[in-house]
Chain A
Amino acid sequence: MAIAVKLVRRPASDSSYVRAALQGMALTFKHLLQKKWTMQYPEETSAPDWTITPRYRGTHRMEVDSEGKAKCVACGLCPQVCPANCIKLIPGEDEHGNRYPLVYEIDEFRCIFCGYCQEVCPEEAIHVGVHYENAEYDRDRFVYDLPRLMRQPHPPSSLWDPSDPKGE
């Protein structure tokens, strides 16, 4: 023997092929009859033991004030902080000197869903949403403009657990 092999003397109950095979067959048969965990996705989107987490970061939505206008004040913090550079913002100003977004577009293909835009927003206007069904027939449809962002019906992400904000 070229190299030393450590030999473990096993009791017959551990090294028995026949018993192991029969035990395995019994085990798989047991599983055959057990509860199936598959979620029938398009019909079911949540189960009693599984719902989507409120901290999920999906496609964005823009908060709307009581007059139906976007809460965004075009401060420019979100395009500044965005690591994927996917937010396009052109600010405008009305006669009272209030800033508002002339153009606000998010390229969801470039977005990495980090949620920094939501974190940095002083007006709590832009949010990442709890939403994952984003399929489109056209690439252009993935650039969400302002009206579309305002129309998104899904709930905003909580980003962190309110009861444990530091993630402890």
Chain B
Amino acid sequence: MNPVTGTAFLLVSSVKILAVFGMLFLLIALWTLVERRGAGFIQNRLGPNRVGPQGLFQPIADGLKNFLKEETYPPFADRVLFLLAPAMAFIPAFLTFAVVPFAAPLPTPWGLVGMQVADLPVGFLFILAISSLGVYGLVLAGWSSNNKYALLGGLRGSAQLISYEVSMGLAAVSVLVFAGNITLPEIVARQQATTWYVLPLFLACFVFLVAAYAETNRLPFDLPEAESELVAGYHTEYSAMKFAMFYLSEYSNMVTASGLLVCLFFGGWDIPFTRWDNAAPWSVWKTAATFGAFWAKTLFFLLLYVWVRWTLPRFRFDQLMDLGWKVLLPTALAYVMFVAVAVWAIELAGVTSGRAEALILACCNVVLAFVFFWVLDRNRVIGGPANRAAATWKRERAGGA
């Protein structure tokens, strides 16, 4: 069956945009509740359970409240940028999901409909480009508020996002090198044909995961918000719907990051240990099943976000920078080189089966992961003044003796 073209394409795309937007909004609304109830459960309490069954209508109540609340404009704020900032955070957060494939293609009377909003040939580059725009929302919000806490939050946000974007991009590059393609449907297809890339590219997956947490400003990397230090960080001066837009963009970023992680490393909409779901003939049932598979995996990573948030404490700023620049960036960089060399060497050795290739890389990864965690674990790279002092002290004592 051929892909849809012409007027049908326009129509189908419009429907897909609306559907995906609605889907995202529903999930975000649900996830604000899951977060609060998850927080409650982890703290041996129940969390909000009053509005509707199990508190299911709480997000509606919250939304209504945010719509009806007073919009405050600080007299000292830069009016134009202050208004622009929430939109600058909101739009890129929702745009990125457009290229994430979330189910098997759907056959319709007009042709085959790919289950992603836009199958861009530049694929992953689009994600890198758009997600890096999100930082402007934070910086402008912090700057235009004309408030020292907000500004500090914005500054931290920009430093953090720029730092971790690099390692996130590089981690993804190793996937692109291994897959030999940059469109997400193709990467997913490769994984379905061989194996989930979390096995052959485990370290890249780890770096991507950590960087994703930093990119979405979630604990343990929520320094831009840092409620115990900066009131509410970059959105201190915001109220009502403008505040809600920052909130929505944070959750939307979480969904996108989880979706991307699933697409790049966990087989996208692939149902594990089966083959029937990956190949034509397509049917509605296949689309529904793979849709479920994709969201099951994505929801797991979204749950992980909540779980990690209520477990790990916030990093100190210098630790954050150490982790970003001294651990993740060199690791990701070296890993890209390693994957490139490995792929070249495997090809040179005449291994043609994708599965064998993945197996060889997976074995290498066990060793690499062991070395990585051993070095990271023993306090060798990330540390604070105390560790540096310890090193100096050791050197001095060795010199003196």
Measured CB to CB, the residues of A under 8 A from B are 1, 5, 7, 12, 15-19, 21, 24-25, 27-29, 31-32, 34-38, 40
Q: List 30 A-B contacts (CB under 8 A).
A: A1-B392, A1-B393, A5-B389, A5-B393, A7-B386, A12-B377, A12-B378, A16-B377, A16-B378, A17-B376, A18-B376, A21-B311, A21-B312, A24-B312, A25-B307, A25-B308, A27-B311, A28-B307, A28-B310, A31-B43, A31-B44, A32-B41, A36-B40, A36-B41, A36-B44, A36-B45, A36-B46, A37-B44, A37-B45, A38-B46
Instruction: Write the B372-401 contact mask toward A (1 if CB under 8 angstroms, else 0).
Output: 010011110010001001101100000000
B43 touches A17 (CB 8 A): no
Task: Tell me the bound Cα distance from A124 to B101 in angstroms.
Answer: 78
Asked whether B23 is an interface residue with its Cβ less than 8 Å from the other chain, the reply is no
Q: How far is the CA of A160 from the CA of B393 in the complex (A)?
A: 61
Which chain B positions have C-beta within 8 A of A35? 44
Smallest CB-CB separation from A34: which chain B residue? B44
Q: CB distance B311 to A25 under 8 Å? A: yes
Instruction: Enumerate chain B residues within 8 angstroms of A37, measured Cβ to Cβ.
Output: 44-45
Q: Are A28 and B382 within 8 A (Cβ)?
A: no
The closest CB in chain B to the CB of A3 belongs to B389
A28 CA to B63 CA, complexed, in Å: 29
Closest-CB distance, A3 to chain B (whole angstroms): 10
- Tell whether B42 is near chain A: CB-to-CB under 8 Å: yes
Give the interface of B toward A (CB within 8 A): 38, 40-46, 307-308, 310-312, 373, 376-379, 382, 386, 389-390, 392-393
- Does the CB pair A5–B311 fall under 8 Å? no
Complex Cα spacing A80 to B109, Å:
91
A16, B375: Cα distance in complex, Å: 10
Pick from A5, A18, A24, A32 the residue with the most CB of B within 10 Å. A32
Inter-chain contacts of A36 with B (CB < 8 A): 40-41, 44-46
- Inter-chain contact total with CB atoms closer than 8 Å: 59
Q: A24-B311, A34-B44 given as contacts; is B382 within 8 A of A17 (CB)?
A: yes
Tell me which of B38, B45, B382 contacts A38 (CB under 8 A): B45
- Distance in angstroms from B353 CB to nearest chain A CB is 34
Once the chains are docked, how many angstroms separate the CA of A15 from the CA of B376?
Answer: 11
A72, chain B: closest CB distance, angstroms: 43
Contact B45 A28 (CB under 8 A): no
B379 surroundings in chain A (CB, below 8 A): 15-17
In the complex, chain B residues whose CB is within 8 Å of the CB of A28:
42, 307, 310-311
Is B46 a contact partner of A17 (Cβ separation < 8 A)?
A: no
Q: Is B390 a contact of A18 with CB atoms below 8 Å?
A: no
Instruction: Write the chain B residue with the least CB distance to A26.
Output: B311
Q: In the assembled complex, which residues on chain B have CB atoms less than 8 Å from the CB atom of A15?
A: 378-379
Smallest distance from the beta carbon of B12 to chain A beta carbons, Å? Answer: 41
Q: Which residues from chain B contact A34 at a C-beta distance below 8 Å?
A: 44
Instruction: Point out the residues of chain B lying under 8 angstroms from A31, CB to CB.
Output: 41-44
For A5, list chain B residues within 8 Å (CB).
386, 389, 393
Q: What's the least CB distance linking A82 to chain B, in Å? A: 39
> What is the CB-to-nearest-CB distance from A86 to chain B, in angstroms, rounded to a whole number?
35
Residue of B with least CB distance to A16: B377
**Residues in chain A near residue B43, CB distance under 8 A:** 31
Cβ B389 vs Cβ A7 within 8 A: yes
A37 to B46, CA, bound (A): 8
Known: A12-B378, A15-B378, A18-B376; 11 extra A-B contacts, CB below 8 A, are: A1-B393, A5-B386, A12-B377, A17-B382, A21-B311, A28-B307, A29-B307, A31-B44, A32-B42, A36-B45, A37-B44
